[in-house]
Amino acid sequence: VGAKGAGPGSVGSSKVQLAFVRKLGQAGSRQAVLRLLSSSGALQAMVDEVWRGAQDLSSARAATAAQLNDKFMQEGGAFNLGYGDLSTFFSGLQGLVGTPDVNLTPAMMREHCASADSLEEFSTTNYGITTTSRAEWYFVQNPQGGPGQADLDAWPKEDGHEEYCRQAKPLEEFAGEVERVNKLLEELREPSLMPEEVGGLRLYTGPMFQKYNATLRGFANPFMKGRWETLCKGNLYTTTLHVINSGIVKGGKVMKAQTVYRGIAGGLLPPEFWTPSKHNICGGVEFAFMSTTTNRQVSMQYASSGSVSTIFEINMGMVDRGADLSWVSQYPHEEEICFAPLTGLEVTSTRVENSVLVVAVRLNINLSALTIEQVLAKRKKVVLDMCQNLDLEVDQMLKSGSWGDLLAKMGPSRSVICKALKQPAANAFKAIDDRPAPAFNDDALLVDSIQSALAEKDAIQAPTMKILMAASKTLDSDDQPEAAKLLRTQAEAMAEFSKWTKEEVFERVVDLLKSPSDPDTRAVSKEVVALLHRCPQVTEVRFDWGHHEGAIEIDVQQGKALFTAMAACTTIKTLQVAGQRTENFGDRVADELAAMVEKNTTLAELDIPDIRLGAVGGIKLANALEKNTTLCNLNLYCNTQLLSSQDGVVGHTVVAWASAIEKNTGLQKLNMWATGCVSDEGGALIGKALGRNTMLETFHINGDRYTELSGEAFADAIEANVTLKELNLGHNECALTPESQKRIDRVVHSRGGSLRSA
């Protein structure tokens, strides 16, 4: 029935076998299959194999993997292995041991030669070497200098195992292998191995692996933490661990996928490896570097060295691969494949082999595992990401507001003009990008880079003669004369406006606000914004309505137009609107006022006393203040219905203002004097909020009904708030308890005049 020449390895054997089985299924029978198996001896071989398995099972310590693990637990003498969960996985190495020093070699040397554990002897469990961190550093980094560097007569050596004894080799001897690996990395467009990484990897393959892994596993549980404290004396080896991790990440990218093994002696797998999680997954996250071998026998020998024997059987995949360290290893015969810390291990199956627990796992390499270049470049990346966002913000500015109106007149030249306008910012961003990544770990340079990037964005907030003339010169140099001429025309028009006095500008603003207009105030607002942007010499607008002869009166509609204009204006730093006599004026313009406070990023001082702003408008303004970070001074004096509450009940407006005071991160001065009668409970709310604020220097609020609760809260506040320099609660009816007043007076006195309280 079979076909000659269809044996394994013969030409076309798989095709012949496939055709044979198909024919058997079409024309054969179950009896025919049985006859074939019997005549070929296959059935007898199957019986023999089943019998051997039954004999092994009858003499085994346990029948199943779970039973064997339970037996290990009952026998005692073993420790529980510590594994992390998904939160550990996503935290990354930096989340465990911190950030590495940018000066890699000096930091690594300090960690090995000048730390609390540097001269403490320790012995390895695999080859019985007794050594120190300092000795291992010099053995790897400068073996030609001899053991005298570590105050030793000879290098630490193995206890037996003469056939596997390590050899002291200068790192230069690995140059050929480094070149081979780097060529493979170059083909993948990945960064090359650095000398520090080569040294770190070789250190890991020797006795130091025990300290490095003890450090990482010290985060697993109290038992492991105790081991780390005993062995490492609090030394985290932060920079060294990052460097080794980086070398493994790079090495994993050029590793061929294959099956590897990891033997564990004396450790019990935790329940998470046996009981499925709520996501129906068994397994955990290995805190430490995970050494494995392609040699199954080596892992079996290692696992069998303890009463509790476990082997992980690991199939690497397309992404989840370890690094081959055999070329740089102190023990190349181990054929070591190493995985980075915080690798996820997902159990796929378990079995028992001769009293050894075999656990098949699927790997998940930690996606937070970064190369040392990426770690050192984190700060630079943050700044470059910010520059990218600022570039998008500049694009948006050029499409809207005053820029949008101006550029709409540029016709086909608009795109080249936009490019010229953005050129100074583009040059600044490129200068930042050209700086080497490690330089950003200097705090001063980091701050300078951020400030220079922000300055470029701020410089183009609104059209000015200076900006337009600079862009026209750029266009001339780029051989765009027509576009340059268009910008010069606009700049010359602005030059005329730049001669206007503050009084002339203000008079024109008043004329615009009072001009007949559509009920939709947007048209008037756009004209006001355009005027103010053409007159950058004017940085403040002050209206003092209704309190003196000849005062300017404008109605609610005109007030809406003013605040709408100020929301888009980027040149005015101070706005004063005072003494409005129209009934409920403040509440009726509250939407526009709140929108201005929320959107405007250049206004520093807002002076709006006595504009008849009540609870309704006050809540809207308070909510907007939570989002504003640039307003420094807010005067709400004599808006008498702003905070009033009835019958001692805390009103919604008090709650809103307490929240604003707590969350605002820009205000330095806040005047809420004569804004209504606040209950003792309401005062307590505001006092607590003041205690959590970290920016306010001056705060005024009348304390009509403040007694015990408010007094305690304000006393707590000035004790906690170290930025506060002036707190005014004074009022004839304010009755703080003597204890609260004493606490306040004590803090005022202790600050030696840096805090005043009235």
- The dihedral formed by the CA atoms of 191, 194, 198 and 201, expressed in degrees to the nearest 10: -60
Pairing of strands 79-80, 323-324: unpaired
Domains of the chain: 80-370 (3.90.176.10), 377-496 (no CATH), 508-597+605-611 (no CATH), 613-757 (3.80.10.10)
Does residue 634 contact residue 592 with C-beta atoms inside 8 Å? no
* Cα–Cα distance list, 417 to 150, 495, 506, 533, 651 (Å): 67, 19, 31, 19, 53
How is residue 675 written in tokens?
A: 């804004």
Say which residue, 282 or 297, is predicted with more confidence.
282
Phi first, then psi, for residue 275 (nearest 5°) are -110, 120
Give the angle 708-713-714 at the CA atoms, nearest 5°: 100
Q: What average pLDDT does the segment 184-196 reach? A: 95
Distance from the first to the final alpha carbon of the chain: 110
- Rounded CA-CA distance 335/330 in Å is 11
Q: Would you say 671 and 700 are in contact if contact means Cβ atoms under 8 Å apart? A: yes
Query: 281 falls in which pLDDT band (50, 70, 90)?
Result: confident
Tell me if 316 sits within 8 A of 258, measured CB to CB.
Answer: yes
d(CA 520, CA 560): 10
- Mapped onto helix, strand or coil, the DSSP state of residue 661 is helix
CA angle 496, 500, 505 (to 5 degrees): 120
Question: Is residue 26 exposed (0-12), middle (13-18) or buried (19+ Cβ within 10 Å)?
Answer: exposed
Percent pLDDT > 70 in the chain is 88
Tell me the HSE value of 360 on the side-chain side, using a 13 A CA sphere: 8
Confidence of residue 752 (pLDDT cuts 50, 70, 90): low
Distance CA 609, CA 622 (A): 15
Q: Which contiguous run of DSSP H or E holds residue 698?
A: strand 698-701
- Three-class secondary structure of residue 437 per DSSP: helix
pLDDT digits (tens, 9 = 90+) for 576-635: 998 877 888 999 999 999 999 999 989 999 999 999 999 999 999 999 999 999 999 999
pLDDT in tens, 195-235: 999 999 999 999 999 999 999 999 988 888 999 999 999 99
Encoded tokens for 300: 């079996």
Residue 531, number of CB atoms within 10 A of its CB: 20
Q: What is the pLDDT of residue 758?
A: 59
Digit-coded pLDDT (tens) for 659-671: 999 999 999 999 9
Task: Please check the confidence at residue 467 and state whether its pLDDT lies above 50.
Answer: yes
Instruction: Express the helix, strand and coil content of the chain in percent, nearest 5 each.
Output: 55, 10, 35
Residue with token string 């469990």: 125
Residue 403 CA, chain-centre distance (Å), reads 35
Among candidates 157, 204, 183, which has minimal Cα distance to 325?
204
CA 715 to chain centroid: 37
Element (H, E) at 696: none
- The DSSP code sequence of 125-155 is TTT--EE-HHHHHHHHH-GGG-GGGGT-SS-
Q: How many CB atoms lie within 10 A of CB 750?
A: 10
SS3 457: helix
Q: Say which DSSP state 84 is in.
A: B
pLDDT, tens digit, 9 for 90 and up, residues 476-497: 888 999 999 998 888 878 777 8
SS3 122: strand
**Rounded distance between C-alpha atoms, residue 681 and residue 679, angstroms:** 5
Among 316, 295, 313, which residue's Cα sits nearest to residue 351? 313
Q: Give mean pLDDT, residues 16-33.
A: 85
Query: If DSSP codes are grouped into helix, strand and coil, which group holds residue 364?
Result: strand
For range 111-118, the mean pLDDT: 97
- Quote the pLDDT of residue 91: 80
Q: Token pair of 545, please? A: 């309505």
| pLDDT computed for residue 76 by the predictor | 42
- Please state whether beta strands 290-293 and 336-339 pair in parallel, antiparallel, or not at all (unpaired): antiparallel
Q: Look at 91 and 55; give whichever has higher pLDDT.
A: 91
Question: For all residues of the chain together, what is the average pLDDT?
Answer: 85
Range of lowest pLDDT (154-158, 250-254, 304-308, 395-399): 304-308
Q: What is the dihedral of CA 154, 159, 163, 166, to 10 degrees?
A: -40
E runs forming strands in 254-365: 259-265, 267-268, 283-286, 290-293, 309-315, 323-324, 336-339, 343-353, 356-364
State the pLDDT at residue 696.
92
pLDDT band at 352 (very low <50, low <70, confident <90, very high): confident
| Pairing between β-strand 343-353 and β-strand 356-364 as defined by DSSP bridges | antiparallel
pLDDT in tens, 59-79: 555 545 454 455 433 344 444
Residue 47 to residues 57, 179, 195, 335, Cα–Cα distance (Å):
15, 54, 58, 37
Name the amino acid, one letter, at 719. Answer: E
Q: What is the pLDDT of residues 698-727, one digit of tens each?
A: 999 876 566 678 888 888 988 888 888 888
What pLDDT score was predicted for residue 299?
A: 73
